[in-house]
Structures are given as structure tokens and as C-alpha cells.
Structure 1
Amino acid sequence: MLYMVSVQKNGHHECGGFLINVYFVVTAAHCGGDDLKYVLLGNPNLKSSKMKKIRVNSTCKPKDYVDVGNGNDIMLLQLSEKVPLNNTVNKIPLPTYEITLRENQTCSVAGWGKVDENSSSVDDLRVVNVSIINSSDCNKKWEGYLPPNVICAGGYGTNKGFCQGDSGGPLVCNGRAVGVVSFNRGFSCHYPDVPNVYTNISKYLQWINKILNEKKCV
């Protein structure tokens, strides 16, 4: 998972993220804004001296982002320098068109967040496989509270899913980052509960590609 990034706030891990371009990282919009100063990348252990620290130049959120509950929970971080790609750092591809994931399809999610709601964040990157949940079933479990443009996977009917501190990390299916960790219920990862919710990256490709091409927020 050479694309994994720790988004830092006040010198500490705040959220996950992932490298999609030598100048840009994707994370969740709710992770912050101008208070996100640095990213760390290049090692699965946050305490490693081999971690590369790069300053964040600017943060780009969709213009209609208000809060997590209203959706559009995706953000691009423009980095202050070009990331050298090598055997410890690489980017992950995004979908090339709007996708529909298969129910029960196995994907994965990774992060440095809590392993359960009573623990603290971890230094070593964790990864877990999660299954895609049908969107209408997910909507029923959430009693109609889901925002548009989301993917549901894990967290329901299983003890596998994401937890606090994993926000902004990627949902990876078939080698592509298809979702961004967005929210679970009540800031709790007490499983099994309701499905975990991710922002559907394929719904934002036009916006992402415009930023990558123009190298600035749009």
C-alpha cells in the first residue's frame, strides 16, 4: 500500500489519505482545511524515520460541501513539492468512469485509526477486507439518512470495518481507489452496527481531473 498517506494536524495523525498524482493526495473533506499542514508517506509505521514529510500547499473541497451528513465528503490536498515515486511510495489509480460495484464484492480498507472504539490510533498501518453492501439495503439500515454519491461496505453483520482515525483512507476494489472513508454511526465503530459509508470517487472524476489538469482548486 505504497499510496497510503497520513494527513497530519498539529503534529499528529488526523486522517488517512492516498496519493493519486505526484502533487495530489485524496482524503475526506471533514478532516479539516488550512489546519492540515503536512502529510507523511513512504512507510507503514508512522514512527519510522523513513517517513517522508511534505507540506500541504492548499486544500480543495467541492463547492457544495457543507458537512458529512450532506455528502460530497472528499478533498484534494495539493502538495508543496513533487513526490518522488520509488519502491516505497507510489500512486493508486482511480476509476476511469462512473462505476457500479457488485454486491458482496470483496474490497479492502486501510488506515492508522483505532482498532476498536476504546483504543487509541495505531502506529502500524492496518488493512481489512470488507464486502460491498447493496445501496438500497444500506439506505434501509440507515433509515433514509444516507447522502447521495456514497458506497456502503463493511461494518454491518461483521466485525470488520473502519474506525475513527481511518477517515480519508481509500476503499480499494480491483486495485483502484473507488471510495473515501466518510462516516459510521455516532463516531462509534461498535460492530456489527450499520454499514460503513464511503464517498463514491467515480461521481467526482470530472472535478478531480479538472484540479489535476489545472494544478489548482476549482
Structure 2
Amino acid sequence: MKVLGQFLLFLALVCAASHVQGSVIVNGELAPEGSMQFMVSVQNENGHECGGFLISEDFVVTAAHCDNGLKHVILGGHNWKNSNVKKIEISNQCKHKNYSDVGNGYDIMLLKLANKAPMGRNIKTIPLAKKNMKLSVNQVCSVAGWGKMVSTGGLVDDLMVVNVSIIDHNDCKKSWGKLPPNMICAGGKYTDKGFCQGDSGGPLVWNGKAVGIVSFNKNYNCKYPDVPNVYTDIREYVDWINNITKNKMCPM
């Protein structure tokens, strides 16, 4: 994400790793009209910062590293600049207490909306994966966002989507050298498809359920066949999420 360059470089040096937050959809296509009505553009005063997804009338899930002066969300349309979309202020941010940086995991945050989203034809929620749901190697999922389509490009206005396959966890750990806990790997390695800067916080979707959250890629390079894209595994945080949405407040 464009405003996090210096911070991300600092993380890379301190952690001796190459984790870069965010990303855009690479070699994808325009999301079909009427699809993915759960997608949310999470914004600060400068505009789009991250993706996110609506899980209830008043809660959005995104990545913890997206905490960068967030002000509101935009939902209800594939083009977030369209006059028909809905803008709702953010009243509270519930970042996981164990989050410190993407290299250590726990990259998940819930956003409490100041007003309930008007559910309807263009705005819908997405169910979360169950804790015991199995994901198989090579299983095809989808990821969407408003991020870049090439490493040196700009963010896009229209929602893009691409299919990516689940990568073996041990293969992913070997590729990265170190992998945070509770992560899913899909896309990037073995393919030229995946996410890029600006897609952070968006959902990895399988069978109509959100199974992951876009977390990090490598070195600001959106075409990197040597390492997989990495997502926060939602299945490991279902109880944490349900506790927040039920009590309407962040855990102490």
C-alpha cells in the first residue's frame, strides 16, 4: 500500500524477511456484475487503503496491518467511486491483541461500523469458514480486490478477481523459510496469478465462504514464482470473531 512503503521497508530489515503487506489482483478479470456483494473498500482520508468483507450488518473483517488512519468503508458496488455506493464511518477497530507485524502473524482486524449496512441486492454478507472445514492442496479458491495489477502500477477503480490454488503448507514454509502461525498459502508460486499491493484485507473464498484474509507477498513484486501468497487462516479465529460480533465490542 502506497503510504506504507517506509514502514514495510523497516519491517523487512528488522525481521530479516521479505514480507510485504497488501497486494493487487494479478492476471485476473473484472468481477462479474452482481457477484461478491460482500466486498468492502476500507479507506482513510486519502482513499482506498485495503480490502475487507462484510460479515454482519455492522462488522467488516480486514487485515490488522491495514490500521493506517482508517475513516470509513465503501460498499455496494464494484467501482468504489460510483455515486450509488454506500459510505459508512468506522466507529471502532478491533485488532487482534497478538498482532505486531505481518511476519509474526495474527494479521486480522474487525471494523465496527457506525451505522448498519443497508442489506439488499448490492450489499450482502459472506459466511465464515467453519473451524473444522478442510482445505485440500490444489483446491481452487478466489481472491478479489482493488489493488494493483502490476508491481509498478496504480490502484484500480473496478473490482478484480482471480482464481488461485491452495499450496501445501510445508512447501510454503520451505519457500519462505519462516511462516507465521495460522496461515494459508495460495497462488503466487507455480503460477502468475495472485494478489498485489492494495488487496490486503480482502477474502480468500472457497465454496461461498471466507477462508482467509490477504496478508503478505514478497518485496513489492507481484510476479514472484518462488514463494506463495500468504493469507490469515480465518478458521483459527472464528471464536474470536463471533465473540466480538455478539458483544459489539473489542475484547479486553
Q: TM-score, normalising length from structure 2? A: 0.84
Which one-letter code corresponds to 1:182 in the other structure?
Answer: S
Which one-letter code corresponds to 2:66 in the other structure?
Answer: C
Alignment match, 2:188: 155
- 1:179 paired with 2:208, answer no
**Cα root mean square deviation, aligned:** 0.9
Residue identity over aligned pairs, in percent, reads 60
Note the C-alpha offset of 1:217.
Answer: 0.5
For 2:132 and 2:63, locate their aligned partners in 1 and report how far apart those are by CA, in whole Å.
Answer: 19
Note the C-alpha offset of 1:176.
Answer: 0.2
- 8 Å CA contact 2:218–2:224 kept in 1: the answer is no
Any unmatched runs of 5+ in structure 2? 1-35
Alignment match, 1:18: 53
For 1:146 and 1:99, locate their aligned partners in 2 and report how far apart those are by CA, in whole Å.
Answer: 21
Which one-letter code corresponds to 1:169 in the other structure?
Answer: G
Deviations 1:37-71 (A, max 9, x none): 10000000121001100000000011111111000
Alignment match, 1:196: 229
Note the C-alpha offset of 1:100.
Answer: 3.0
- 8 Å CA contact 1:103–1:133 kept in 2: the answer is yes
Task: Provide the secondary structure at the position in 2 that maps to 1:19.
Answer: strand
Note the C-alpha offset of 1:104.
Answer: 0.1
Q: Indicate the structure whose relative CO is greater, using CA pairs within 8 Å and at least 6 residues apart.
A: 2
Q: Return the match for 1:110 from 133, 140, 144.
A: 144
- 1:85 paired with 2:85, answer no
- 8 Å CA contact 1:167–1:182 kept in 2: the answer is yes
Matched positions, count: 216
Task: Provide the secondary structure at the position in 1 that maps to 2:244.
Answer: helix
Task: Provide the secondary structure at the position in 1 that maps to 2:188.
Answer: coil
Q: Return the match for 1:137 from 150, 171, 175.
A: 171
Alignment match, 1:209: 242
Any unmatched runs of 5+ in structure 1? none
For 1:201 and 1:98, locate their aligned partners in 2 and report how far apart those are by CA, in whole Å.
Answer: 11
Which stretches of structure 1, 4 residues or more, deviate above 4 A after TM superposition? none
